[in-house]
Amino acid sequence: MNLLLNLLWAILGGGLITALEYVLAGLMCCLTVVGLPFGLQCFKIAGLALAPFGKDFEDSGPNALGLLGNVVWILFAGVWIFVSHIALAISLAVTIIGLPFAYQ
């Protein structure tokens, strides 16, 4: 079932668009030494964006540079990715078929 849902998500639900967006953000982040950790995490999220069904993740908890890293991420890439995720969710929620994908 997860395979079917992941295929539908990648083709119809915007998984390819979201994954490409994270790969592009990851490539841009990897251009600098400071952005390298952010870029590597973007590549991990791109893989998750292609196949989100059946995946679990856990928060590693707060660390010393977590707040600073979150602020840097939000300022440089997070806002644009947030806006595109909201636009994609709204466009999926308009149809009955896309509603489960919008919720995911």
Its domain, for residue 70, covers 2-103
Report how far apart, in Å, the C-alpha atoms of 25 and of each of 59, 67, 73, 95 are: 22, 20, 10, 29
How far apart CA 84 and CA 8 sit, in angstroms, is: 19
Task: Give the pLDDT confidence score for residue 23 in this predicted structure.
Answer: 93
Q: What is the number of structural domains in the chain?
A: 1
Q: How confident is the model at residue 93 (pLDDT cuts 50, 70, 90)?
A: confident
Q: How confident is the model at residue 104 (pLDDT cuts 50, 70, 90)?
A: low
Q: pLDDT tens digits for 34-45?
A: 888 888 989 998
